[in-house]
Structure 1
């Protein structure tokens, strides 16, 4: 069962990576080069989705939108994502794309980016090693800090995609 679960997440991760590798850039003439409803920061577009989904479902929906669950690489980006999620009145935790479902304790981003920043809540309860779906990362809306959660929990989520050229 554990092998099948890890294989599933590995295939999902590879699918997301291949989707990004084989995607062709779309031409768009909007001033900010982000699709309608998305918000731009630097070279990326972001969207908050408030509907509760499991981690895997959230990543799948982001993939359908030609995106991934958000990977966060700075305090500024973390604050931006937090503001984006709270703009609609959200006060609940939400998913970002960091997880250890393939190898317990080895956190990776769903989009394959290097994990060069974190904002973990040092007082958070560590993930249970026998968790059925591994540990995924949620952002606690009230503090902006990250903590582990079962990947089977249902939360809103933030997707990220490159700016369209």
Structure 2
């Protein structure tokens, strides 16, 4: 089951064009069938296990990227999408955060700034370069990019065609 969320939260500016999350945002914007809309963004959970790079490639084919998480609301939606759609709740969930370009510096695959994180307290002890939401505590940890995890894609909502 997929959920539609309409929530107003403070705008976080970023360099890319992104609509303002307000009442006007949802007017005339839609997500493809099967995607969940949160303000001006669309999310879809993929209940298949892939390495980080392969998951990003699938998200690119679907018109987006591995999900960048810009708020606690988006993080909660991703956790809920996983809970509602997974066939195995023991598998972690890739999001689009990684430090494969420069050690110690995190990047989102969609190029948005890293303004929100939800790491557990010992994330610096993790040996990987790619970030996943851990299913046991729903906090973020760095995993090896070659691990097979489920994943969530995100894309911008588009103008509805009537």
Q: What TM bracket, shorter-length normalisation?
A: 0.7 to 0.9
1:39 aligns with 2:33: no
- TM-score w.r.t. the length of structure 1 is 0.74
Residue 142 of structure 1: how far off its partner (Å)? 3.0
- TM-score w.r.t. the length of structure 2 is 0.76
Q: Deviations over 1:120-163 (max 9, x none)?
A: 011346233xxxxx610010123220001000001110000010
SS at match of 1:115: coil
Residue 88 of structure 1: how far off its partner (Å)? 1.8
- The residue aligned with 1:123 is 122
Consecutive unaligned residues of structure 1, counting only runs of 5 or more, are 1-19, 22-30, 129-133
- The residue aligned with 2:50 is 53
**Among 82, 93, 98, which residue is 1:85 paired with?**
82
Consecutive unaligned residues of structure 2, counting only runs of 5 or more, are 1-15, 18-27
CA–CA distance in structure 2, aligned partners of residues 143 and 32 of structure 1: 33
CA–CA distance in structure 2, aligned partners of residues 32 and 84 of structure 1: 21
- Tell whether the 8 Å contact from 2:29 to 2:40 is kept in structure 1 after alignment: no
Structure richer in helix, relative to its length: 1
Structure richer in strand, relative to its length: 2
